[in-house]
Structure 1
């Protein structure tokens, strides 16, 4: 039998402290230690006592829950995109304006400016492709097992696919996103700063 290395008093105190708390916290650990403690007599194993059962492994430490971000931090990328659409196309100004009082010509002129700026932002930060490559109005066949997120059926929907129909809108899918990272130092809720012209 190999002789066990001797432990210093400090090591034994530390081991006793650890075992004390594990016995209190873990029923399987306490049940595994009980036969070991009963098999000792004045610091030596009683002859013929069965070897103690292997101690169960310590439970893995619980992962700390992810911090809950405030909505403006969680959705910072979306707010940054809206800010860019405002900066380049005045989209927020256009949507916040009550256009009922303006003529169609005035609304059309404003929409042209909004369209040009917003299109610039979309082309710069997003790569878009049609979901279906056919032209609108073309005849298409929707196969069995189609992805309902990519193709929406309208009109007289009955029976099981394949379905034949006319393409009303080819849809859009984003194939690449190139948003810049948003600095935590910036308040992403501010879509456009107030502008003050000094005299």
Structure 2
């Protein structure tokens, strides 16, 4: 059972533990930020009777994603699959056979990057086309409902895509001097 009002030294210990957890865990930091925002909104709403009557639940705090992982992944896709080169190229002028041959090479390289750096599993194990029932309280972050959505769960439907979930990430470690913004260095032949 936790105390309602921890004494001074307990509060110092809590503050230090939270400080390091916030620094090391962006999800935890987002939760703390949401709590602080909710507290400010609660105090503001309690300031006037009209504000209290009109108060609505606070929208979840948005957290900003660090670009480092995205930049590193983009660099890996460029190195292994020439991904940026392919996407930046205007393929409309090329015959379909040439585009298809290039896409095969890009696909092979992109697949290598995924296999080498991530473990990915389907969100749902059932085959696409399978009938399923979504109970009340289903994970709306993992399952997107499409079509004619009316009423409350349980919902009966068919799986049109099993979804994907990253189970493990194994991006390479980088030296401190590595500039992630250079996803592909310019090449100069002498």
Q: What TM-score range do you get, normalising by the shorter chain? A: 0.5 to 0.7
SS, match of residue 141 in structure 1: strand
1:82 corresponds, among 48, 55, 74, to: 74
What is the SS of the residue equivalent to 1:145?
Answer: coil
1:134 aligned counterpart, secondary structure: coil
RMSD of aligned C-alpha atoms? 2.3
Partner residue, 2:162: 170
> TM-score w.r.t. structure 1 length?
0.62
CA distance in 2, matches of 1:177, 1:91: 20
From the two aligned structures, give the one with the greater helix fraction.
2
Q: Structure 1: which 4+ aligned runs deviate by more than 4 Å?
A: none
C-alpha displacement at 1:180, in angstroms?
1.7
Number of aligned residue pairs: 134
Where does the alignment leave 5 or more consecutive residues of structure 1 unmatched?
1-55, 67-73
How far is the alpha carbon of 1:114 from its aligned partner?
A: 0.3
Query: 8 Å contact 1:77–1:182 — kept in the other structure?
Result: no
Structure ID, larger Rg = 1
Match of residue 112, structure 2, among 115, 120, 125: 120
Q: Which runs of 5 or more structure 2 residues have no equivalent in the other structure?
A: 1-7, 24-65
Q: Post-superposition shift, 1:183?
A: 2.1
Of 83, 89, 95 in structure 2, the residue corresponding to residue 97 of structure 1 is 89
